[in-house]
Amino acid sequence: MAKRIVIELTNRCNLACQHCFSGRHGGNDDLSLDLLEKVFVEAKKLGFEHLTFTGGDPTVYKYFDELLAKVAEHDYRFSFVTNGYNFATSHKKILPYLSNLEQITFSLDGASEATHGALRGKHSYKQVIAAMRLAKDLDIPFSNNMVITRHNQHEIKDLAELAYRLGSSGLRFGHLMHSPITTANGWDLSLTERQQVEWKIWQLQAEYVARLPIAMAPGFSTEQLFPCAPLNMMEVNIDSQGNITKCCHLSSHGPIASQDDIVGNLETLSFTEGFLKLVAGNERLKRIKQAHFASGANEDDKSPCWYCSKYFKKVDWLKEFPENPWTRSLEDPKTQRIKLM
For the chain, what is the domain count?
1
Measure Cα distances from 59 to 131, 135, 191, 286 in Å. Answer: 13, 15, 35, 36
Question: Residue 340: what pLDDT?
Answer: 39
Which domain covers residue 291, as residue numbers? 1-341
DSSP letter for 228, please. Answer: S
Please say whether the beta carbons of 17 and 249 come within 8 A.
Answer: no
pLDDT over 80 at 337, yes or no: no
Which CATH number fits the domain that encloses residue 134? Answer: 3.20.20.70
The model's confidence at residue 336, banded by pLDDT at 50, 70 and 90, is: very low
Sign of the alpha-carbon torsion through 326, 280, 261, 108: negative
pLDDT over 70 at 71, yes or no: yes
What is this structure's pTM? 0.94
d(CA 341, CA 338): 9
- Residue 105's DSSP bridge partners are 81, 143
- How much is the mean pLDDT over the chain? 92
d(CA 155, CA 118): 14
- Residue 214's DSSP bridge partners are 171
Residue pLDDT, tens place only, 261-289? 999 999 999 999 999 999 999 999 999 99
- Residue 10's DSSP bridge partners are 30
Contacts of 160 (CB under 8 A, 6+ apart): 171, 204, 208, 212, 214
pLDDT over 60 at 23, yes or no: no
Question: Residue 335: what pLDDT?
Answer: 47
- Residue 142's DSSP bridge partners are 104
